[in-house]
Structure 1
């Protein structure tokens, strides 16, 4: 599309359906265009600001076509999102409980092979768990668009209650550290605390990206 950023956003606004948060969508696309132009100029030294803008607008495509993506957007429900994330996160905790039970019920060190692998690759497991929250945000953003983006951190606190409760239990030794022999060390506990406090931000990042690339219905 040829034209200015303002013209692009004006056409986009005119074609967006009324049931979506139009102002939020326009604001996000305005930021996205600015960021994309900055990145384009950093990658190509011989392009002018106008050329970079035209490239970005061309990559985005027709604003009317973008707006049409929001017409078939699934109905939004905070309760639905809460339950989806609570169930998914509960599965991770159930897996952890099973892992502890398997460790305690094993009579020899050789039978604790799964626990030994968990201890050896605990940083990778934490990274994979953080990726789950990123992908969860991405999924919600692609499914519900910018309507959910503004409230994603509010949505996240209930599913993360288990994490916060467990974190406090470990910190105050309500949950005995002996249960996690080899897995929990003081440095790793602090890494887990920082990660736990960051999960909502990670999900928000994924949600924003998903909303900007909402799947056509």
Structure 2
């Protein structure tokens, strides 16, 4: 380890203090500092200066992580689960109102939404990618477990609705003209892809947190 690298991590260790993810943070930055060190022949304090230029000073890094520590995994998990449930209940409410009540505005909304199923799917996929990104950005390497728990809890309403539709416990007529064989198959496939999409978002967010 060069003098500049040693200085950087010694300072980072000091300013992080008793941060709960201290070891993981240092390990994560070690890989990035190593990559920077391979890009040129740094002597003395040159590597330290280059690392600070690219990643920020140890005190700046510690400040960022201390702020993120205030966002607890539990709060983040609850937030995204609730958001997914709100989306789910919003769609369910719209379906029920459209089928049982006569409101011109609801009918217009329904016709416009069912005319663009691909956009609905893309937006929902983007939502899950954003969930992964935010978790990765906020919690770094510690966020993978949070992502898994969030996914399991949030996807339950989706699976219940899919079960009810596939086994015709909910009349397919409620969802016309949206609901057909290809669309049901697409929903099943895309539900399987939700976790990989959120994982990609997580990796992106984790990289952005550095």
Report if aligned partners of 2:81, 2:154 keep a CA contact under 8 Å in 1: yes
Report if aligned partners of 2:132, 2:200 keep a CA contact under 8 Å in 1: yes
Residue deviations 1:78-112 (CA, integer Å, cap 9, x gap)? 3x334222321121122112221232146699972
**Which of 188, 195, 201 in structure 2 is aligned with 1:200?**
195
**Which residue is equivalent to 2:21?**
21
Q: CA RMSD in A?
A: 3.9
1:11/1:137 CA distance change after superposition, 3 Å: farther
**Which of 78, 94, 103 in structure 1 is aligned with 2:98?**
103
Residue deviations 1:152-197 (CA, integer Å, cap 9, x gap)? 1123211211011112222222223222111122222222122222
Task: Tell me, in whole angstroms, the C-alpha distance in 1 between the residues paired with 2:155 and 2:184.
Answer: 17
1:164-203 maps to which residues of 2 (within 5 A)? 164-203=159-198
Task: Tell me, in whole angstroms, the C-alpha distance in 2 between the residues paired with 1:169 and 1:5.
Answer: 61
How many residues were matched structurally?
Answer: 201
Q: Which has the higher helix share?
A: 2
**Which residue is equivalent to 1:140?**
135
Cα drift, residue 74 of structure 1: 0.8
**Which residue is equivalent to 1:50?**
39
**Which residue is equivalent to 1:129?**
124
Q: Tell me the TM-score normalised to structure 1 length.
A: 0.70
**Which residue is equivalent to 1:85?**
80
Unaligned 5+ segments in structure 1 are: 38-48
Unaligned 5+ segments in structure 2 are: none
Cα drift, residue 22 of structure 1: 3.7
Report if aligned partners of 1:9, 1:26 keep a CA contact under 8 Å in 2: no
